[in-house]
Chain A
Amino acid sequence: MVTVTNKPIDSYLRVDRMPHIWCAGCGIGLATSCFIRGIERAGLDLDKIALVSGIGCTGRVAGYVKLDSFHTTHGRALPFATGLKLGNPELKVVVFSGDGDLAAIGGNHLIHSARRNIDITVICINNFNYGMTGGQMGPTTPLEARSTTSPYGNFEHPFNLPYLVAASGATYVARWTVLHLRQLERSIAEALAKPGFSFIEVLSPCPTVYGRMNKRARGLDEMHYYQEKSVIRNGADPKDTDISLDGPIVVGKFVDIKRPTLWDYRRQVLDRTLQKKKA
């Protein structure tokens, strides 16, 4: 029998911190592997990457990667990331956080970072609830889905995150599930290479809480659902990509446009103004 002692991505992980805290059947580990392979594919210098996480299950990614990382307060991953980028513009700053962190308590920062088109890549794990605190409803919980704070189903309309960030001004927007490993890896590499605000939503199972309350309690149930209901539609209009409790999931790269980043635009305007003054 061959025993594999070193896994290919181990050199990017703080293996001394293993085992990780994620439940069996959780998809955050898969997304983390895709992120590491995405870095490899994009050929980035590891010393020039900084990873920022907020709070929640996904927030723990910051502690497991062998990169400069920052585990920040709830909802504030993007302002912390903005500070890193301003303090050292050479850094490739990545925010790796969950839907509860980025879209709820940090929702304001999400739309303003996209609007500003600051040069940051956001990987947002969406498991449709607040997993770490035990499965409460949040701003991405599908209508009528059950949670510990909506025991008879959710009555609040959820955000469609790709539509939200696209409308706010993001230059790259994609959505994949953790079943779409190759596509997700490629998308992460593209987003890392893309100047401006890039956003990738990654749908991930949460069998322990969200799944258990919505008839997908086994780890593979949600994966089967992704397999059956996912439709790849690259270039789809983000407004047509709403997610419902058991409905189809549109995945793909939805937005890939050029728009001057905050710095590019500032440089253009300042150059123009200063040249005028000289003349």
Chain B
Amino acid sequence: MIDKKSGSNSDIQILDGNRAAAIGAKLSRVQVIAAYPITPQTPVTEALSEFVERGELDAQYIAVESEHSALAVCTSASIAGARAFTATSSHGLAYMHEMLHWAAGTRLPLVLACVNRAIGAPWNVLNDQQDSISQRDTGWIQIYARNNQEILDSVIQAYKIAETVYVPVMICYDGYILSHTEMPVAIPLQQDVDRFLPQYRPHTILDSSNPKNYNLVTLANPRINAEGVLCHGYMELRYLLQEALQNSRETIRKVGQEFGELFGRSYTDLLWKEKMEDADIVIVAMGSLAMEAIVASKMLREEGYKTGVLGLRLFRPFPKADVLKALSKSRLVVIFDKNISYGSEGAVCSEIKAALYGSQVNAAIRNFIVGLGGRDVTAREMADAVKKSIASLTEGVPNKGYPEWICHI
């Protein structure tokens, strides 16, 4: 198929989300893949091992003994100058926790596909976003895909983003709802992807003629090294990571725009909007849940409510300014979270509140916790929750300050 706008060629295939992620990694010409099986991520690595062994992808594939080892291998492969990829879910991501910090702290451009799944105890293999939200503070960029096309496109863009800002990127997508559901996906041609994503040129590389030590014990304060150069202390290095994430928004926007110019699918916006032009009631959600919200919003519009949907694509760094602008005309914001920060509220809700703080926007905020451990979230339930929020507003019921749960207690 030739895209009319960009003139770019692509092949449309019916793919599930896992296959889309694997093809995205293949088109990005990853050189080292290390992964461990975990439901529902496993088909990603199965597909990659197949590509490697068939000779379709020139990469080293290693079936390591745990997720912790998988990310350690990718980290070192990246230091050695290779483009590395891994994928995991749930407990696998939790087990990687130490290495997530380590990869971000080392400022390596890794890309990880996180197929969102609930965390135990008790055991559950179905979808929610508690796993990646729990890794919010590890210094990784987090992008949430809403469909399989976005998964493939995001993996390719992720390398360009990561290799520009030197911060690792996590592409998150909902287990089963996207990972095991098939839909049409346009697969760009390799030559076009090569044009978009040139070969990886590492900022640092292990080289015996210029030996370097990585990640030595670093004291809190700046210190003069043996050559008399004043080096950053631990705190300065942390500041630089924070600054890199803060500045990455512009890179993410620019890479998304470039991608759009080449492939006809633009990702300039860090969030996406549906019927927001005249909406005074806004439903906010992240990942595939935001697609369900569109159906709920349509139902509500049929009943005469002026609703719109704000879908978050980027969670870290949080697109504060974009959210604030998008919500400027809203009277009520209803946020659906597929995660819970125990003792507080949904993670997306906290971010939205923080974005609105001190601004001119004085919208009421309601937060609903939904869909944990694979519990179905229907558009009808979402629409009812919005109507309940509207009613509480007209009746003047003050915000309780904590979220409501759509569950049977």
Interface residues of chain A, those whose CB is within 8 Å of chain B, are: 71, 73-75, 104-105, 107, 130, 132-134, 136-139, 148-152, 156
Contact = CB atoms under 8 A, between A and B. Distances in A.
A107 B69 CA distance: 12
A149 B66 contact: no
A135 to B, nearest CB: 9
A151 B66 contact: no
Given A104-B65, A104-B66, A133 B49 contact: no
A237 B91 CA distance: 38
Interface residues of B, number: 21
A107 B68 CA distance: 13
Contacts, number: 52
Given A104-B66, A136-B63, A149 B46 contact: yes
Contacts of B45: 136, 149
A149 B123 contact: no
A132 B39 contact: yes
A136 B45 CA distance: 10
Given A136-B45, A149-B45, 10 more contacts: A71-B123, A74-B95, A104-B65, A133-B37, A133-B38, A136-B37, A136-B42, A148-B46, A149-B63, A156-B63
Contacts of B65: 104-105, 107, 139
Contacts of B54: 151
Contacts of A133: 37-39, 42
B374 to A, nearest CB: 17
A78 to B, nearest CB: 14
A241 to B, nearest CB: 22
B373 to A, nearest CB: 16
Contacts of B36: 104-105
B53 interface: yes
Given A71-B123, A73-B120, A137-B63, A130 B91 contact: no
A73 B37 contact: no
B42 A151 contact: no
A139 B392 CA distance: 58
B115 to A, nearest CB: 12
A73 B42 contact: no
A91 B303 CA distance: 64
Interface string B43-58: 1011001100110000
Nearest to A59: B123
Interface string B84-98: 000000010001000
Contacts of A139: 65
Contact of A74 (B42, B50, B91): B91
A134 B53 contact: no
